Structure 1
Amino acid sequence: MSEMSGVANSSAIAAKKKLSSNFLKKGISIALFSGLMYGFYSAFMTLGMKKGVWADWYGDNNTGLSVLVITYLLGALGSAVNDTCSAVWAIAYATIKGKIGDFFRCIRTTPGGVMILAALIGGPISSTAYVVGLQMAGSIVIPITALCPAIGAILGRILFKQELNKRMMAGIVICVASSFLIGSTSLSGDAPEGMFLGLCIAFIAALGWGFEGCVAGYGTSMIDSEIGITIRQATSGLSNLIILVPIFGMIFGDGVGFSINLVTQAFTSGSAMIWFALSGLCAFVSYMCWYNGNSMCGAALGMACNGTYSFWGPFCCWIVLGVFAGMDGWALPPIVWIAAVLMIFGILVIAMNPLDLFKKKNKDHDKEVDNYETT
C-alpha cells in the first residue's frame, strides 16, 4: 500500500514539475513575442510618418515648418497619435473583457497612481525621444533603447536596493559595449546628418523606460496586468496629446492653436492613420505580452526576452520599410546586427546566469536516464 502511495506521489510531483516547466516555457514564448510586436510597432509607426500629410511635413514641401518643429514637435505628435491609437485598442480590449469598470476604479488607487506616474515617464518623455531618434537616425537607434533593462537594473539598485551582483554588472558592461559599437557607425563619413544627436536622444528613451520599469513593477504587483496596461496606454496617449504637443507648439511654433491645427491634420490623414492604427495595435499587444510574460516567467527573464526587440526592431523596419515599402536606407551594416545580438546576450546575462539553462537541461537528462534504468 505504501509503495503504491509512493508511486502516486512521485507521479504527482513529476506532473507538477512538467506543468511548471510548460508554464515557464509559455511565459518565455509570450515575452519573446512582445519583442517581435515591438519591432512591428516601430516599423508601422515610421511608415505612417512617411505617408499622407506627414510626407508633406517631412518632404521638401513642408509648408514653411521650421527645423525645430519638424524635429521635435512632429516627433511628439507621431508618438501622441500612436499612443492614442494604442489606448483605444487597450480600452476596447478592457471593455470586451468586462474590465472597464475596474479600470476606472484602479485609477483612483495608489497602485493606479504609480502606473500613471510610470506612464508619464515612459510616454511623453521616452516615447517622444524614441520617435525623434527614429526620425533622425533610423532603426539604428532601436538597439540603443534596448539598454533600458541595464539601466533598470542600475536604478533598481539605487532606488530600491535591489540586487546588482557581478554577473549583472558584466551584463551591463556587455550592453554598454554593444551600444558603443552601434554608435560608432554614426562617426563614419557615410553617416547621415544628425545621426549622433539621434542616438543621444534615443538614450534618453532608454533612461526613461528603465526608470518606468522600476516604478511600474510596484504597480503591476498589486493590480491586474491588463488593467495596468490600459492605464499605462491611456495615460501615455492623453498626456502626449494634451500636454507635450501643446507645450512644444508654444515653444517651437506659434502657440497652442498651431499645435491643434497639426493634430487635426494628423488624425484626418487617412493614408497615414491606417499605419498608425496598426502600430498602435502592435504597441498594445507588445506591452500586454510583456506584462503577461513577466508574470509567468519572472520580471528579470521577461525583460530579457522583451529586450530581443533590439534585433526585431531593425529587422522589422528593414522588412516593412525597405522590402515592402521599397524605401532606401533601411539596410543596416553588419556591425549593427552583431552588436544587436551581443546586446541580447548582455540582457540575458543581467536577467539570469546562462549556464543555468545548460545545468537544467543536464539535470533533466540525468532524470530521464535514471527513470529509464529503473524501468
Structure 2
Amino acid sequence: MSEAVANSTAVVAKKKLLSGFFRKGVTIGLFSGFSYGLFSAFLAYAMTQGVWSDWFGANTAGLSSFALVYMLGALGCGVNDTCSAVWALGMAGIRGKLGDFFRTLNTKPGRMIMLAALMGGPIANSAYVIGLASAGSIIVPISALCPAIGAILGRVLYKQPLTKRMILGIGICVSASALIGISSITGGAQKGVGIGIIAAIIAALGWGIEGCIAGYSTAMVDSEIGIAIRQTTSGLANLIIFIPIIAIVGGNAGLSFHVIGQAFTSGPAMIWFAVSGLCAYLSFMSWYKGSSMTGVALGMATNGTYSFFGPFCCWIILGVGFGIKGWSLSPISWICAVLMAIGILIIAVNPMDLLKKKEA
C-alpha cells in the first residue's frame, strides 16, 4: 500500500509540475505579445526623432518617395534589430553564454534560426515597419494573421492536421482583418493605408514562415542564444544586404551607406531605438522561450495577442503620452483586434479545455 501511495503522490506531483510549467509558458508568451506592443510604439516614436524627423518632414535631404517609403522602413527595422542584437549579445555575455552563441551558429538548429531570421527580419520586420509608418497602428491586427498562416503552412509543408476548430479560428482572423481593411478604406483613413495593409500581409506571411521554421529549433536551443542569433542575423542582413539592394532598385546605390551613417549618428533617435531594441529583444526571446514550453502553435498564439497590445500601446504611448495625432483607432478596429486575439486562441487550443476543472 505504501508503494502505491508513493506512486500516486509522484504522479500527482508530476502533473502539478507539468501544469505549472505550461502556465508559466503561457504567461511568458503573453508577455511577448505585450512587449511587442511596446516595441511597436517606441519604434514608431524613434522614427520621428532626430534625422528621421527631417526625412519624413521637410526632407531637406531630397530623398525620393521610393526611398522614404521602402528604404527608410527597412532602415528603421535594421537599426532596431541591430540595437536588439546588442542587447541580446550583452545579456549572453553577462551570463557567460557567448561561447554557446558561436558554437550554436554551426549547428543545424542554429542554421535553422538564421534562416527563420531572414524571413522574419529583413522581409517581415521591414514590411511591418513600412506598414506602421504608412498606415499607423491599424496594420498591427492584420500582421497578426501570422498564426493563421503558420497553421495553414504547417498543413501544407508538414502535413499537420487542420481541424474544424482551427479552420474556425482562421476564419475569425481573416474576417476581422477584412473588416479592418474595409473600415479603413471607407472611413477616410490616411493616405498610405493601401501600402500599409499590403505590407502588413507580407509581414504576416514572413512571420508565419518564420514560426514554422523556428519551431524545429525552439526546444533545442537556449532561448537567449536563439534570440541572439535571430536578432544578429536580422540586423546584419538588413544593413549589409537588404538596404543596399533597395537602394540599387531605387537607382542610387550609394544612398544606403549615407542614410545608414546618418541614422546611427542621430543621438535623439538612437536613444529611442535603444528602447525599442530592448523591447524587441524581450518580445522575441519570450516568444522563443514560450514556444519551447507550450508548443509552437500556442506560442505563436500567445505572441499574437500583440494584435490587441500593439494598437493599445501605440494609442497610450504615442497618442496619449506624446500627444501625437493619428494613433487612435475606431471602435470597429478595437473590436476586430479583440476578435483577432480570440481567433488566434481558437487556432492554438480548444477553449473548452481551458474551462475544464483539473482532475484530482
**Separation (CA, whole Å) in 2 of partners of 1:348 and 1:329:** 29
**Separation (CA, whole Å) in 1 of partners of 2:156 and 2:224:** 29
**Separation (CA, whole Å) in 2 of partners of 1:144 and 1:43:** 16
Specify the code of the residue in structure 1 equivalent to 2:185: L
Deviation string, structure 1 residues 211-249 (Cα, Å, up to 9, x no partner): 111111123343323222111110000000111111112
Which residue does the alignment assign to 1:276?
A: 273
Alpha-carbon deviation of 1:136?
Answer: 0.6
3-state DSSP of counterpart to 1:220: coil
Aligned: 1:291 with 2:288:
yes
Equivalent pair of 1:171/1:346 in contact (CA under 8 Å): yes
Which residue does the alignment assign to 1:372?
A: none
**Separation (CA, whole Å) in 2 of partners of 1:262 and 1:179:** 34
Where do 1:1-375 residues align within 5 Å?
Answer: 2=1, 4-255=2-253, 257-359=254-356, 361=357, 363-364=358-359, 367=360
Specify the code of the residue in structure 2 equivalent to 1:133: G
3-state DSSP of counterpart to 1:327: coil
Distance 1:97 1:160, change over 3 A: same
TM normalised by structure 1 equals 0.93
Equivalent pair of 2:127/2:203 in contact (CA under 8 Å): yes
Equivalent pair of 1:69/1:253 in contact (CA under 8 Å): no
- Greater shift after overlay, 9-18 or 81-90? 9-18
Alpha-carbon deviation of 1:268?
Answer: 0.7
Structure 2 stretches lacking a partner, 5+ long: none
Equivalent pair of 1:253/1:259 in contact (CA under 8 Å): no
**Separation (CA, whole Å) in 2 of partners of 1:106 and 1:62:** 45
Equivalent pair of 1:186/1:196 in contact (CA under 8 Å): no
TM normalised by structure 2 equals 0.97
Alpha-carbon deviation of 1:99?
Answer: 1.5
Alpha-carbon deviation of 1:259?
Answer: 1.3
**Separation (CA, whole Å) in 2 of partners of 1:39 and 1:298:** 22
Specify the code of the residue in structure 1 equivalent to 2:315: W
- Greater shift after overlay, 287-296 or 31-40? 287-296
Alpha-carbon deviation of 1:180?
Answer: 0.5
What do you get for the CA RMSD once the two structures are aligned?
1.4
Alpha-carbon deviation of 1:253?
Answer: 5.0
Q: Percent identity?
A: 62
Equivalent pair of 1:40/1:313 in contact (CA under 8 Å): yes
Alpha-carbon deviation of 1:324?
Answer: 1.1
Equivalent pair of 2:113/2:214 in contact (CA under 8 Å): yes
**Separation (CA, whole Å) in 2 of partners of 1:291 and 1:63:** 40
**Separation (CA, whole Å) in 2 of partners of 1:207 and 1:12:** 44
Structure 1 stretches lacking a partner, 5+ long: 368-375
Alpha-carbon deviation of 1:15?
Answer: 2.5
Equivalent pair of 1:47/1:321 in contact (CA under 8 Å): yes
- How many correspondences in the alignment? 360
**Separation (CA, whole Å) in 1 of partners of 2:22 and 2:256:** 47
Distance 1:267 1:253, change over 3 A: farther
3-state DSSP of counterpart to 2:215: helix
Deviation string, structure 1 residues 302-353 (Cα, Å, up to 9, x no partner): 2211110000000000111111111011110011111111111111111011
**Separation (CA, whole Å) in 2 of partners of 1:175 and 1:62:** 42
Specify the code of the residue in structure 2 equivalent to 1:128: S
Equivalent pair of 2:215/2:291 in contact (CA under 8 Å): no
3-state DSSP of counterpart to 1:218: coil
Deviation string, structure 1 residues 64-104 (Cα, Å, up to 9, x no partner): 11111100010010000001001111111111121111211
Alpha-carbon deviation of 1:297?
Answer: 2.1
- Structure 1 or 2, whichever has the larger Rg, is 1
**Separation (CA, whole Å) in 2 of partners of 1:7 and 1:133:** 60
Alpha-carbon deviation of 1:62?
Answer: 3.9
**Separation (CA, whole Å) in 2 of partners of 1:81 and 1:336:** 30
